Each structure stands twice: as structure tokens, then as C-alpha cells.
Amino acid sequence: MTAILTRRRFVQLSVASVALFSAGGRAATWFAPSLTYPSIKVGNVAKIEVGKPAYFNYPDNRSQAVLVKLGREALGGVGKDRDLVAFSASCTHMGCGVQYKDGRFVCPCHQSMFDPAKNGQVYQGLASEWLPQIPLRVEPNGDVVATAVEGLIWGRVKNV
């Protein structure tokens, strides 16, 4: 018996290979661990004052984050006035803890500045990346819940 590969047989084998590869790829994603962010209460709208930052850990105890009510509408802001925002508190330059002051986040190490009303955009200093923003959700009872991180937290290879 000769092993001649006809054009028809080649096409049949190719289609079968693609089907198997595709199914294998899907199977791999079914068994991959889920990388979901925790939903964590970080405050309640009734107790959050304009200009007073509240620090919390998110998405786990290794990273500090900060919640602030700006008193002016912000991109990604939630709440009645769309002015509640949260960010990773680690500067994107070398990881120092940023501080909220006069409507902006300032890094005490090398004075990078980030705009909390514009998704954490860096506008001065040595940092080149924006401060990772933490999307928030407000529950019917006023609880403010952290839901994810947009951007990689400084010093980590993955957020979760």
C-alpha cells in the first residue's frame, strides 16, 4: 500500500487539524484560572467628605489605594455628583505612596503629579504612566464598592 497524499486527503487532514487545534484552545481557556477582581466595600457616600482621602487596600493587602470625593465631576467618577474616584496609591515612577493635596495626587519622592479628575493622568514629574484607576460602583444603600484596577499597579507583574 502506498502512502500518497492526495489533494483531497491533504485538505481533509488540514481541516481536521484546525478543528482539533481550535477545540484545544477553547479547552485551555475553560481550565485557565479566573483572574477576577474582588468587589470590596471602601466607604459609604453618606460618610465621605469632599477633599478628605480615605486609604484602603486593593485588590489585596499588598497594595494601598485611595478614595477621594473631588467636589467636581471626574472621568470615571461615581455618585450623585460623579466626583467619587479611587486610584492605586503607588506612584508609577518608583512606587512611593502618593498623597492627595489641592485636588491632585502628589508623589513626595520626586514630585510627580497626577490628575484624579482625568483618570489619573500624569502631568508633571518623573512618572510616565498614569495612576491606575479603580472603577467604583455605588450600591442602593450608598456603599461604595471597588471593582477592578485599570492599569498595572507599580511593582507587580499582575494585579490579581
Active site members: 93, 110
Of residues 107 through 126, those in contact with ligand FES by CB under 6 A are: 107, 109-110, 112, 125-126
With a CB cutoff of 8 Å and minimum separation 6, the contacts of 136 are: 42, 67, 76, 78, 84, 85, 86, 144, 145, 146, 147
User: 43, exposed or middle or buried, with CB in 10 Å at 0-12, 13-18, 19+?
Assistant: buried
* The one among 94, 117, 138, 152 contacting ligand FES by CB under 6 A: 94
Kindly indicate which of the ranges 28-36, 46-54, 60-68, 105-113 contains the residues binding ligand FES, using the contact rule CB under 6 A.
105-113
Decide: is 91 part of the binding site for ligand FES (CB under 6 A).
Answer: yes
Decide: is 152 part of the binding site for ligand FES (CB under 6 A).
Answer: no
With a CB cutoff of 8 Å and minimum separation 6, the contacts of 101 are: none
Decide: is 93 part of the binding site for ligand FES (CB under 6 A).
Answer: yes
Decide: is 75 part of the binding site for ligand FES (CB under 6 A).
Answer: no
Q: What whole-number distance in Å separates Cα of residue 4 and Cα of residue 7?
A: 10
Which cell goes with 110?
A: 520626586
Collapsed DSSP state (helix, strand, coil) of residue 151: coil
Kindly indicate which of the ranges 27-35, 52-60, 106-114, 143-151 contains the residues binding ligand FES, using the contact rule CB under 6 A.
106-114
Decide: is 97 part of the binding site for ligand FES (CB under 6 A).
Answer: no
Which spans of this chain sit near ligand FES (rule: CB under 6 A)?
Answer: 91, 93-94, 96, 107, 109-110, 112, 125-127
